[in-house]
Structure 1
Amino acid sequence: MGTIKRDVSSMMDIWVGAATELEVQVTVAKLPGMDLVETLTVSVNGNSVTPEEIVGECGTRIHRFAVDHGNVLVQYSASVNTPADPLTEQVGERSIYLRPSRYAEADKFFGYVTAEFDLSKPPIELLFEVSKFVADRLNYLPGASDPIDGAEDTLLANAGVCRDFAHLVVALLRALNIPARLVAVYAPGCVPMDFHAVAEALIDGTWLVVDATGLAPRQALVRIATGRDAADTAFLDNHSGNITLNNYEVIATVAGELPVDNGSDHISIG
């Protein structure tokens, strides 16, 4: 993709029925090398509020604010004029991303991977074999999974949405002793257009991305949030109270033609 411009935006209309603390993860992750121009606005019952920004791993930004009652509107837009530099291994990441997690229960797959994959192969070969295995095994079917389903549930159901595909890829890679994690992204070219989830694996000191859904070219992805699984990367969380997500919209485009992803290139999210 080089320096091809990417434009992304999102909107959330939320009803808060009882006092709560909201956290949103919709802003582009700020990382070295990136030229980013953005606007985030949050209003509660028509009144502008300034959320607290919490900076997490890999440039992830959580915006947190309290709401007593009423309507919340979150609007975000950004132009990524220059992508971020590829991420390389940081201290402690290998340890963190080999561990089982809430939705990527790698410990349940240790026996399974020995029957399905040749563990003597180099990690880069296993990375693409796992992605192809998940792509061949699962059907992309909205409504086929619940928000609390983990990788084991997805494997048994043979169906799911992007987060389910990514969780199964991550769990299998960790079981193969390859550090892996989930990344929430804006995905130009994705159909249906939505917040998207992909998997990253640590290969020879560099984080490479795979997307078993094949819904969008990996070269165009824009990182939002990075974590162990969807528990760390959800675009909306509430603590206490109760909320209803009335409506939301996601748009992601590139200047010019979308790149062609052959599925086998070694690609990092920029």
Structure 2
Amino acid sequence: MTVYSVPTLYEPATWPDPIEPIWQMLPARGESPVGAKRTDLTLADRLFMAAVVNVPAERRPWGSITWLADVFNTSRPTVYAIGKRGRAGMQALPARYPCLPDLPAQTSPVAEYPVVQVTPNRIRRSMLTLLFPGKVSGRDIQECLEAALDVSRSNATVSDLLHEAGRRAGKILDNVDLSPLGPVVLARDELFTGRNPNLLLVEPHSLVIAGLYATQDRDAETWACALLLTQDRGVQFAGLAEDGCIPYAASCREAGLDTAPSATRYLASAA
């Protein structure tokens, strides 16, 4: 009779690297958690990722998290988030089931500061505030959320929120009655998102946004349309404060406005 030693029994003779063979055993289709955004990641996929993430870092093969992110077509923060949720689910089991050991306690002292509750609404407000007035780009917002709130949101989620917020803000601005302002001198300028201009008209004293239009061009004809749209909302042009941009004066002629824009005259009168 052949007697096998303990090291021989536990040595992976046929699976020198067991992570990839286990991944190959996962089904191509299967059940996904209720409410999951990535329905292509099945429950088996998520349990597999959670198992690898919860292997102690000093024993986990180097590059495992990056490998998981590549083969499942996702990001490293998402892999860590799935591992965190899997660990929380196992620790929430009744006492009669074996649970994972607790994570090592933090050695740094706990600061006596108010605890901020990270709610979905706070996350949305943080993303919008990072964009304006923070001027943080969409891709960098994800890193800011991870650093400040320990939460992760995909670039698609951030983009959807920003577009939806823009549409809602546009509807609010369209319904504002600007006729009570009376004759006003508006300051106008061009803000760029990448290479696309946004035509902006602001009443300088109250900072009321009289018009904000995302356009493909910034020529005189486009500016003329912006002026007419603003006029349709009840604005009475008494003047325009602007720089010496060539299309500005031509846009007034295109729109048929009698306003003679002059930044110098307006600034002198305001002083």
Shorter-chain-normalised TM-score: which range?
A: under 0.3
Query: Higher relative CO (CA 8 A, sep ≥ 6), structure 1 or 2?
Result: 1
Larger radius of gyration: 2
Q: Which has the higher strand share?
A: 1
Q: Which has the higher helix share?
A: 2
